[in-house]
Chain A
Amino acid sequence: MIFDALSVLLLLLGLFFFVSGLLGLWRFPDTFARLHALTKADNLGLGLVMTGLLFQVPDVLWAIKFVLVWLLALVASAVNAHLIAVFLHRQQEGHDESA
């Protein structure tokens, strides 16, 4: 019972950070700032969802799986943010030279 309550609390908290990331995507002024919002808020949001689900796992293998999913999502998010940032930076520099 107490574990279920903890799960619900952590899932709701995680959801709050996902919504925050989404709000950042909408409200932040440029692409770089939006990348910040997505990487940081989703890192924490998914981490909290993962922790909430840890209270519901049937065995330790599932727990390892959840942590791995979180880590893989972190790697994907960091690599994607970096690739988008590099692309954008090159584009802007190219623009500056032609201006």
Chain B
Amino acid sequence: MPLVIIVFILLLTLWLLLTSGDLGSLLVGLPFIMLALWSYRLQRHAPYPLTFSFLGALRFVGFFLRESLRGGLDIALRVWQPRVSLSVAFYEYRLIFPQGPIRSFFMYCISLLPGTLSVCVSENGKLRLHVLDDRGAVAEDLARLEQRVCDLFALPCYKGAL
């Protein structure tokens, strides 16, 4: 089955779940589903197949929930203190994922996890990110996320290389 059909079915299911199966709402939903499918044409990377691992997904979900908790607590601890203690900095990290959905997923996860925010991919191909506190273990955190993303997409990753 072509990818576009699969994505169409996924989006349609998502919409029907959110609207409790109200078919009349497709009057609004269908144009947006079409818009989303059309936006697929805007991507510039070479397509590559995506694979998933069920065990990897379970590990990823556990990891993501734990890190979300840590990230939220980290912010809460900082903002409720009498003096906000930050040591903001830009940081560069080598990317192992090729341009495309996995890299985007990795970058969005970085922004949702403690103390890191994806900014852009610089000209040298490295990921530029903003860190809230450069006194923490940024590289270790990123490497752990990278490992979990590799597990999720069933990619063989060994010591930070694909």
Does B39 interact with chain A (Cβ within 8 Å)? no
**Residues of the A chain whose Cβ atoms lie less than 8 Å from the Cβ of B75:** 17, 20-21, 24, 36-37, 40-41
Partner of B132, one of A21, A36, A68: A36
- Whether A82 touches B68, Cβ cut-off 8 Å, given contacts A16-B76, A28-B84, is no
Partner of A78, one of B20, B78, B80, B112: B112
CA distance A20 to B112 in the complex (A): 15
- Mostly helix, strand, loop or mixed at chain A's interface? helix
Count of chain B residues with a beta carbon within 8 Å of a chain A beta carbon: 34
CA distance A39 to B72 in the complex (A): 9
The reply to whether A89 and B128 form a contact with Cβ atoms under 8 Å apart is yes
CA distance A41 to B79 in the complex (A): 11
Q: Counting chain A CB atoms within 10 Å of each CB, which of B72, B113, B119 scores highest? A: B72
**Residues of the A chain whose Cβ atoms lie less than 8 Å from the Cβ of B112:** 39-40, 43, 74, 77-78
Does A23 interact with chain B (Cβ within 8 Å)? yes
- Whether A61 touches B71, Cβ cut-off 8 Å, given contacts A29-B84, A40-B114, A78-B112, is no
Partner of A27, one of B71, B84, B107: B84
**Residues of the B chain whose Cβ atoms lie less than 8 Å from the Cβ of A79:** 108
